[in-house]
Amino acid sequence: MSTSHHNKTKRILSGVKPTGKAHIGNYLGAMRNHVNMQQDHENFIFIADLHSLTTVKNKAELQGLIIDLALDYLALGLDPKKAVFFRQSDIPEHTELTWILNCLTPMPMLENAHAYKDAAAKGNKEINAGTFTYPVLMAVDILIYKPDIVPVGKDQKQHVEIARDLAGKFNRTFGEVFKLPEPYIPKEAAVVIGTDGQKMSKSYGNTIEIFASDKELKKQVMGIITDSTPIEAPKAPDTIYQLYSYFANEQEKADLLEKYQAGGMGYGDAKKQLLEKITETFKPYRQEREKLKNDLKYVMDVLKTGAEKARETASATKAEVWDKTGLSIS
């Protein structure tokens, strides 16, 4: 499904959990897409800070994560005039509606949810109720704004399916309120390979951070693990080539591939070329982020204004739910 087929009336919703430093995998898999989608859609993007509480138990850490994510998105070009950008925790209706849907959610549905199954499989004896009911809050995050489309990675598709199931169940039980959203899995959200050859992920510690200092960025790129092919021998396209190809044009990709196949180019030189390309791509975003960092009042104002807009929609949905369930007695 190409996004160009949708007109401005399509509403898109994306929630992003603040989890630390944004890396190339986050950028290619989601962030770039979220920013691009503001052009032709009604775009709702929120910082899923309530979700962070299942793991983050430190006030200063959580606040830092929230501000970092807001800075990242605004620096990458998210335009508060085109997108509704807000914090989940500023909208009390998220948690209020979660209770309503909790009362419709069958336990086996939650026992089969990825997050809970993963935690249980790891033998975690301290799984909190928040981790267990996580998918219900996530369903509310989606349904409360009645979006048409929810862009997700393949591993997140289950959350949209659960949201659709719960929406259908509510509508059948109490009457029509919720729209059944469609998941949208972008083609280019293929697996981005990290510096160690595995999927790029903070949990593997194999990321290349888009807003790292020059020194740190160099260390990350030069630390990409390569095989032992000698300099003079031809090389097959590898992690370096793959990462380079995300940011290079067709001619640049062809040139690097030719050098690889001809032999005589060492991996060190290829890494330098990749580093240059990454630095050049993200330079304007990094400069913008530095500016925003010195104006946190602006960033907070953006989130506050976004929350006011989001709350109009959320409170209208809540009113419908209260009416259908019998909670509002006039």
State the DSSP string of 69-94. Answer: HHHHHHHTT--TTTEEEEEGGG-THH
Return left, alpha or beta for 268; rule: phi > 0 is left, psi -120 to 50 is alpha, else beta: alpha
Residue 78 lies in a domain: yes
**Strand 182-184 and strand 149-151: pairing?**
parallel
Q: How many domains does the chain have?
A: 2
Residue 46 lies in a domain: yes
Residue 284 lies in a domain: yes
Range in 23-37, 51-65, 313-327 the model is least confident about: 23-37
Q: Are residues 184 and 48 in the same domain?
A: yes
pLDDT of residue 327: 97
Tell me the average pLDDT across 289-312: 98
Q: Examine the pLDDT at 2 and tell me if it is beyond 70.
A: no
> How many separate helices (H) and strands (E) can be counted in the chain?
14, 5
Residue 279 lies in a domain: yes
pLDDT of residue 3: 42
Q: Are residues 142 and 224 in the same domain?
A: no
Q: What is the CATH number of the domain that holds 118?
A: 3.40.50.620
Residue 275 lies in a domain: yes
Tell me the average pLDDT across 24-52: 93
Q: Are residues 141 and 274 in the same domain?
A: no
Q: Are residues 139 and 274 in the same domain?
A: no
Tell me the whole-structure pTM to 2 decimals. 0.92
pLDDT tens-digit series, residues 229-241:
999 999 999 999 9
Q: Which helix (H) or strand (E) holds 284?
A: helix 267-293
Tell me the average pLDDT across 135-144: 98
Range in 186-195, 304-313, 320-329 the model is least confident about: 186-195
Quickly state the pLDDT bin for 125 (edges 50, 70, 90). Answer: confident
Of residues 64 and 20, the one with the higher pLDDT is 64
Q: Are residues 85 and 123 in the same domain?
A: yes
Q: Are residues 127 and 276 in the same domain?
A: no
Residue 201 lies in a domain: no
Q: Are residues 280 and 311 in the same domain?
A: no
Q: Are residues 237 and 257 in the same domain?
A: yes
Q: Are residues 268 and 232 in the same domain?
A: yes
Range of the domain at 251: 212-290
> What values do phi and psi take at 193, rounded to 5?
-80, 135
pLDDT of residue 73: 98
Q: Are residues 276 and 139 in the same domain?
A: no
Of residues 152 and 211, the one with the higher pLDDT is 211
* Number of residues written out for the chain: 330
Q: Are residues 16 and 128 in the same domain?
A: yes
Q: Are residues 28 and 149 in the same domain?
A: yes
Q: What is the CATH number of the domain that holds 272?
A: 1.10.240.10
Residue 198 lies in a domain: no
Quickly state the pLDDT bin for 190 (edges 50, 70, 90). Answer: low
pLDDT tens-digit series, residues 93-106:
999 999 999 999 99
Tell me the average pLDDT across 180-185: 92
- Percent of the chain past pLDDT 90, that is, above it, reads 85
Residue 151 lies in a domain: yes
